[in-house]
Amino acid sequence: MVRHVFERLLDVRLTDVTLPATLAEPGDARGLVVFAHGAGVLHRTGNRQVAAALNRAGFATLLYDLLTSVEELSYELRFDIALLSRRVAEVTRWVRAQPTSPRCRSDTSPAAPAPPLR
């Protein structure tokens, strides 16, 4: 089955920074897979190829970098586990806060609720 995929660039606004992201969503998405990468995910061919395969299989994908283009120049920030994990948690909360649509639900099934993020 050939699926049409709607792709758009987003600005994910977090507490201390706005991160660019790419959302690709097939019209009949059955879930969302989030790709978090230290730097350069929007240009990484491998991640985009995996995301495209997931889109063809019926999954929406959100690709984003954990660091801004300026931050990725800092060797120390690439290994700042507290910063990186905080951003993963914030993006997860951001995804959950987005309104659900018929094409893609960003929440879990009622039978298996996700644990709260701390």
Q: What's the CATH number where 74 sits?
A: 3.40.50.1820
Whether 116 is covered by a domain: the verdict is: no
Q: pTM of the predicted model, to two decimals?
A: 0.78
Q: Which residues, in sequence order, are bridge partners of residue 3?
A: none
Say how far residue 76 (Cα) sits from the centre of its chain: 23
pLDDT in tens, 1-31: 667 899 999 999 999 999 999 999 998 888 8
- Which domain range does residue 19 map to? 5-97
**Nearest to 59, CA basis, from 51, 69, 47, 67:** 51
One-letter amino acid of 107 = D
Task: Give yes or no for a contact between 45 and 28, defined as CB atoms under 8 angstroms apart.
Answer: no
| Domains of the chain: total | 1
- Provide the CB-side half-sphere exposure for 62 (13 A, CA): 22
How does residue 40 score in pLDDT terms, banded at 50, 70 and 90? low
